[in-house]
């Protein structure tokens, strides 16, 4: 979660017994690299202890931008060499190939991470992407459904969390080359019920994005976090579409490529106006005095009702902004009760 998951959130998530990660974002420039260093330093400071072993450092990279330039490859290799994180997470896409200088051989981002001893987690939204990551040597698969918040596969290319997670479990468990690789479900999961459901599918765990965005330790605007806990916000108010990305890409130095140029997001006035009218929106963007871009910038400067807030479909079951430690411990307790007691009743 670039811009959301920093060193403090990662540290508190780890303290609760889960695996917290730092979002590196578009790691292709010196300012981005400096920002990541600051968050790693904060993670180290927050987790420093004389009695307990240090929790693992995990860093997530947006690959379409990070590995789009020689600078991105260089900065990332320098980071891996310096910090040797326990694990890295790759997304959008999960595998990026790179030719050698004389084009006689190729390498990829997974090979690069493993060269520095990192466990590799790959987040995918399709079966094809999962197979590519497995063949490339990933150590863990995150099955991201279209109910997820933030960037992910367009609805036309992706699948719901239940469908993609269960399918990837079947693929991994049926092949002896891969049957020890964990599969984690992501998308619309915000509590212990969602975790128990993921485990029932055969997954080894679940990823919590929106729920931890709505935490005290998450980075970002406090009013936008509070919007996630608004009782008027539920799955009907969340949509996955390309409006935000179309507008953001027009002014961004790191535009999101197809099929990852869609976002799970809370509806606002601009989304309601332009959803289903992308051709008209593109025509507006081609004008020198484009009103749509001015409206877009104004919306993001405005209050939380006007802003573009990334969110998954499970947001309706978030009612408060809590500490990450408390969120994780509550999820664990809820899942244990369901598995140990509630499900047993079905067999009686």
How many whole angstroms separate alpha carbon 242 and alpha carbon 235?
A: 18
Answer whether residue 53 shows pLDDT above 70: yes
Q: Are 205 and 195 in contact (CB under 8 A)?
A: yes
Q: How does pLDDT run across 255-272, given as a tens digit for each residue?
A: 999 999 999 999 999 999
Q: Distance between alpha carbon 242 and the CA centroid of its chain, in Å? A: 17
Q: Taking Cα atoms as reference points, which of 54, 51, 190, 207 lies closest to residue 143?
A: 207
Mean model confidence pLDDT for the chain: 93
Residue whose entry in the numeric block shows the structure tokens 């730092």: 22
If pLDDT is split at 50, 70 and 90, which confidence band does 105 have? low
Q: How confident is the model over 31-43, as pLDDT tens digits?
A: 999 999 999 999 9
> In the predicted model, is pLDDT for residue 51 greater than 70?
no
Q: Which of 129, 125, 82, 127 is nearest to 110 (CA)?
A: 129
- The model's pLDDT over 267-286, given as tens digits with 9 standing for 90+, comes to 999 999 999 999 999 998 98
Asked whether the predicted pLDDT for residue 339 surpasses 60, the reply is: yes
Q: What's phi and psi for 310, nearest 5 deg? A: -65, 135
- Residue 101, pLDDT above cutoff 70: no
What is the reported pLDDT for 1? 61
Residue-wise pLDDT tens digits, 114-155 = 999 999 999 999 999 999 999 999 999 999 999 999 999 999
pLDDT tens sequence across 170-224: 999 999 999 999 999 999 999 999 999 999 999 999 999 999 999 999 999 999 9
Give the per-residue pLDDT at 206: 98
CA dist., res. 279 & res. 285, Å (int):
10
pTM for the whole structure = 0.94
**CA–CA distance, 201 with 113 (Å, rounded to integer):** 29
| Cα end-to-end distance, the chain, whole Å | 42
Give dist(CA 315, CA 239) in Å, integer. 12
| Amino acid 303: pLDDT | 87
Query: What pLDDT sits at residue 275?
Result: 93
């Amino acid at each position: 979660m670039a811009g959301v998951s920093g060193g403090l959130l990662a540290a508190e998530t780890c303290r609760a017994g889960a695996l917290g990660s730092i979002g590196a974002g578009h790691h292709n420039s010196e300012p981005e690299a400096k920002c990541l260093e600051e968050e790693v330093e904060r993670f180290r400071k927050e987790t420093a202890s004389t009695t307990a072993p240090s929790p693992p450092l995990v860093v997530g990279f947006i690959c379409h931008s990070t590995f789009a330039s020689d600078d991105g490859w260089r900065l990332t290799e320098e980071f891996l060499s310096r910090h040797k994180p326990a694990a890295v997470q790759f997304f959008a896409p999960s595998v990026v190939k790179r030719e050698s200088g004389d084009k006689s051989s190729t390498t990829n981002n997974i090979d690069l991470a493993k060269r520095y001893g990192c466990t590799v987690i790959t987040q995918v939204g399709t079966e094809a992407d999962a197979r590519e990551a497995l063949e490339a040597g990933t150590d863990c698969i995150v099955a991201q459904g279209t109910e997820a918040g933030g960037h992910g596969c367009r609805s036309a290319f992706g699948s719901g969390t239940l469908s993609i997670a269960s399918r990837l479990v079947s693929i991994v468990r049926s092949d002896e080359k891969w049957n020890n690789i964990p599969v984690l479900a992501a998308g619309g999961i915000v509590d212990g019920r969602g975790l128990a459901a993921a485990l029932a599918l055969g997954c080894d765990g679940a990823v919590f994005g929106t729920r931890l965005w709505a935490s005290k330790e998450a980075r970002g605007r406090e009013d936008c976090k509070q919007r996630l806990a608004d009782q008027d916000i539920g799955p009907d108010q969340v949509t996955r579409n390309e409006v935000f990305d179309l507008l953001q890409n027009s002014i961004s130095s790191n535009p999101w490529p197809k099929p990852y140029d869609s976002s799970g997001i809370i509806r606002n006035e601009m989304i309601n106006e332009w959803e289903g009218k992308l051709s008209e929106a593109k025509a507006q963007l081609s004008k020198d005095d484009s009103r749509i871009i001015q409206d877009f910038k104004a919306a993001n400067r405005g209050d939380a009702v006007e802003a573009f807030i990334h969110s998954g479909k499970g947001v309706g079951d978030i009612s408060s902004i809590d500490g990450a430690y408390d969120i994780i411990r509550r999820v664990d307790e809820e899942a244990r009760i369901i598995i140990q007691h509630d499900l047993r009743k079905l067999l009686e």
